[in-house]
Chain A
């Protein structure tokens, strides 16, 4: 059976044989870089298309259906349009920061792709602090958003950026605490350890109610961190026209747009990894033949299936709920989610000490 794991092992062996140790590493780095950029573009396009189709499903209409079969090339055509548009820089804008901001956001989004396990043994970099790395790097994006808002010389952008900063900094806390719940249960920050710990059942199932609570808090926090409705206050089109990217056009706008979708993907991939076992097939301890059948489904399918399911949930939120107000948004975090996830963390710790999760 062809698997992504076999493919990478073959490639690695071939590179080592032909180039020798240092050059093989350099070639691998270049290949991984190209793959990451390609993935960034392809995922962005696919998710935008998915978003439009999900929106259409919710809104009793068809969605894109003209460019290509079922409209699958619509987003590529849109991107082409954006590439050809002029990238305007408004008068009075801080040119350096204004042009740097979209790249900050994009680079932050791409860096977080590193520790994500897309399939069995198919991972760019299995850090020992994988989860911490994700939590740390994903909050760098807010610097890009603040830069964009500040340098645009536009009051709508400034308001949007300020909202975004307040929001991401707040929701980072409960996202971190709910990630910690799984880290405590697993005893490791390494992504591959976390996945392997779920070989006899996903945490969402064997972690009882505390993990379910942690998952719900995590889902809300991810929705907020990626500035998605009902927490899309940073761009709130009916209030701030387009928030922090009001003044951006052309490809610079597209980078913000794609980065938003990559961030959703990453948030959901982390969620799938922590709570649904990543690429780990659905296993029930004791049912060996059932587990064996499940193993026949490729691990990449498991990973993308779970991630897409979570992404669908987040899109579902967007097309159903109205937007919160800024004070309600912060109240939700500081008065409800944060206390809940703190108490929940205590319970999870207690559970881990007592060994109830095994």
Chain B
């Protein structure tokens, strides 16, 4: 901790970025060693928003612990809930009605879209452009309203429960989603006009924060970060859950491994999510939205692992059960933690401005990293 102030013996300046800083998006603390403007080392210090969610889960029942997981990666709370529900269902061997599966996938993709929209605005803000933020929030707000109609919440949804979903869709859901899709399609070209095609933006991201495919694998990068380096790691394709294997969509892969590639992957994923929603919105089957389950869920003795694709990468849920009504141990494999570990590797040799571009395209959500 001595290194955190002043200069080190090589005369390099050591700067603390965060825990309160405009572009760390939360309470991330980076200790960066600078030679002039050039970065020699980035050392993330974690734990400022650690709430010991995994330990808390051990004292909560299998129905209750899911609500806590909404607070991990709050931008894709549906998908966190989904991962946990899948793990419990795997242990209990519960069959999910098709309607519930379709609703879950719809909600997941809407969440992914909302999360990527927020990331898009926040990245532009990290690079010094304020205006895109307002444009992306215009669309994200519509998704939040959809969520509010059905789930009653806008951020921490707690909608997906073991056995299906908590309640049926709002009667307006289909109509509003279609309206949203129509609007979003007419607006998505504005995103390219404002940011993608901008020469300054391209210069700021191309060749910045490079990570090779091999390094991405060894750091455990998943999600758009891995796919930007040419690593095929979409859980929806590799280990399909729910009805993803019946859907038509592409895994967006770029090979250049820089911030620009990660940007292209996420923007491509927004379009793919839109395709998935389009395929499903007119084909929501009738039927039950929740399977009949016992009042108290008890997983058999053993350990269970499931993984889902969140907006940031692979979320793993590992439950060890002793046969009781609460988990014996729970461990989440969060995508943000592994992606953050590659930050030092990616930003060495770059400038301070490059660090912000790299951090922006990693799409870090700090509560997801600290848990």
Contacts and interface: CB of A to CB of B under 8 A. Distances in A.
Contacts of A163: 37
Nearest to A324: B200
Contacts of B200: 230, 321-324, 328
B353 A321 contact: no
A236 B23 CA distance: 11
Contacts of B351: 325-327
Interface in B250-296: none
Nearest to A320: B131
Given A59-B134, A230-B200, A237-B22, A326 B128 contact: no
Interface string A34-61: 0000000000000000000001001111
B356 interface: yes
22 contacts: A55-B130, A60-B138, A155-B15, A159-B37, A229-B128, A229-B129, A237-B22, A239-B23, A239-B353, A241-B21, A320-B129, A320-B131, A321-B128, A322-B127, A322-B128, A322-B201, A323-B127, A325-B351, A326-B37, A326-B352, A326-B353, A328-B203
Interface string A218-249: 00000000000110110011111100000000
Interface residues of A, number: 29
A51 to B, nearest CB: 12
Interface in A191-224: none
A319 to B, nearest CB: 5
A156 interface: yes
A326 B39 CA distance: 13
A290 B198 CA distance: 42
Interface in A134-170: 155-156, 159, 163
A54 to B, nearest CB: 11
Interface in B18-70: 21-23, 37
Contacts of A240: 352
B166 interface: no
B73 interface: no
- A interface SS class: loop
A229 B355 CA distance: 19
Contacts of A159: 37, 352
Nearest to B37: A326
B269 to A, nearest CB: 21
A238 B22 contact: yes
Q: Which 5 A-B pairs have the closest CB atoms?
A: A323-B128, A322-B127, A238-B23, A325-B353, A59-B134
A323 B129 contact: yes
Nearest to A323: B128
A238 B131 contact: no
Given A239-B23, A322-B198, A156 B15 contact: yes
Contacts of B15: 155-156
B304 interface: no
B204 interface: yes
A317 to B, nearest CB: 10
A60 B134 contact: yes
Contact of B134 (A61, A156, A320): A61
B117 interface: no
Interface string B335-371: 0000000000000000111111000000000000000
